[in-house]
Amino acid sequence: MAKTSQARPAAEAGKAERGVTFDPELVLNALGKAILLVDEEGFIRYANAAAEQFFATGATMLTRMRLDQVTPFAHPLLSVVEQVKQGGISVYEYEVDFGSPRTGQRPVDMQVTPLADRSGLLLVSLQERAIAQRIDRQLTHRGAARSVTGMAAILAHEIKNPLSGIRGAAQLLEQGIAEGDRDLTRLICDETDRICLLVDRIEAFNEGRPAKREPVNIHQVLEHVKKIALAGFAKGLRFIESYDPSLPPVSGDRDQLIQVFLNLVKNAAEAAPSKGGEITLTTAYRHGVRMAVPGTRRRLRLPLEVTVRDNGEGVPPDLKPHLFEPFVTTKSSGTGLGLALVAKIVGDHGGMVECESEPRRTVFRVLLPVANE
């Protein structure tokens, strides 16, 4: 401990000699998101440069106003502030409209956090989202899945039935030919099976099938997926697990959730290096994470977080915006349906899926509601 206490003043002295000082306001002004400090009575005590741009008002004027004077009438931000005051925990809201009849729609992600110094001040963070980003987040996954849904019925009828006949004919031929020629008939059977499997995966997008809802233990789902992976496509890879055993159950379809995480783990296994490849599975409870329910004013809590992480090369930057669209893939033998199916199933469960990727670290994050919601 003595070394640490002596080294710190020396480091500070070194900074002073070089003219380096730490100014929190410079840091806040460098952020791209609007930051406000709001006191217990609702008055704004501080606004950074991004907040001045966001509200089109100077910091001097903002610090003379209350929060309800700069927000649209009865805006959800005001109720979130009251909730944070009472509960003392951070609350996140995704894609909240901060617009008005004059400005039009203005989607933002917002966060309200109490300061740890017990001053009573709340930090309000507003990150504006472009309209294109908002559409991509809420509608692209559903729209992409619907585009495949319309195709599914045609493919099921027009492709699977003839394939069944082709496979049956190949099996009959196999009985009357020499052993050396049977490789060809087996190839025909294998290829027809592969095409049928592809059509089956496309049919999974059919929105006419209501999903059953029951409490599901997400850890049992992950353990089942891990067993399948280690017995096949993930042999030789190291699994790291970090689970929160106190998590409540998810409300959903167990088989569909297995499909979601099987697809994500399979992607991770294919991305991980053959030597030193790792797949990390984590679960956690995230207080205050909420999302708008399309078509309603209701906010759905999504506190259950499951992540699948690999240490592969990462997702190419040009692919990231289209990652969950059908038929988008970097694999030579891939169908591009796995992640699109993941997005659809998670969306049907009232949740959301996100991806963060950089070299040696790609994380797929799935947020789900608890069973009692």
Q: List pLDDT tens digits, range 16-43.
A: 455 556 677 788 878 878 999 999 999 9
Question: Is the same domain home to 102 and 179?
Answer: no
CA–CA separation, 282 and 284 (whole Å): 7
Question: Is the same domain home to 278 and 346?
Answer: yes
Locate the DSSP E strands across the chain.
34-38, 44-47, 91-97, 107-114, 122-128, 214-216, 238-242, 250-252, 278-285, 289-292, 299-301, 304-310, 352-358, 361-368
pTM: 0.55
Question: Is the same domain home to 252 and 182?
Answer: no
- In DSSP terms, 149 is beta-bridged to none
What is the crossing angle of helices 182-203 and 141-155, to 10°? 130
Burial class (CB in 10 A: 0-12, 13-18, 19+), 60: exposed
What does each of the 373 residues of the chain score in pLDDT, given as a tens digit? Answer: 444 444 444 445 554 455 556 677 788 878 878 999 999 999 999 999 889 888 888 889 999 999 999 988 888 899 899 989 888 888 888 778 887 655 556 778 889 999 887 678 999 999 877 544 544 554 455 555 555 555 565 556 567 777 888 888 888 888 888 877 788 888 888 878 877 776 776 665 555 555 578 899 999 999 999 988 888 889 889 999 999 999 999 988 888 899 899 999 999 999 999 888 999 999 998 876 666 655 555 666 788 999 999 999 888 887 877 777 766 666 655 556 678 888 888 888 888 888 888 889 999 999 898 887 5
Domain at 69, CATH number: 3.30.450.20
- Tell me, yes or no, whether 220 lies in a domain: yes
- Tell me, yes or no, whether 300 lies in a domain: yes
- Residue 172 C-alpha from the chain's centroid: 49
* Number of domains forming the structure of the chain: 3
- Tell me, yes or no, whether 245 lies in a domain: yes
- Tell me, yes or no, whether 7 lies in a domain: no
* Dihedral sign computed on CA atoms, order 159, 160, 162, 168: positive
CA–CA separation, 243 and 220 (whole Å): 11
Q: How high is the pLDDT of residue 281?
A: 96
All residues at 6 or more sequence positions from 245 whose CB lies less than 8 Å from its CB, including other chains: 219
All residues at 6 or more sequence positions from 118 whose CB lies less than 8 Å from its CB, including other chains: none
Question: Is the same domain home to 223 and 362?
Answer: yes
Domain span at residue 172?
133-203
Give per-residue pLDDT as tens, 142-190. Answer: 555 555 555 565 556 567 777 888 888 888 888 888 877 788 888 888 8
| One-letter identity of residue 133 | Q
Question: Is the same domain home to 122 and 32?
Answer: yes
Question: Is the same domain home to 38 and 176?
Answer: no
Q: How high is the pLDDT of residue 6?
A: 43
Question: Is the same domain home to 298 and 344?
Answer: yes
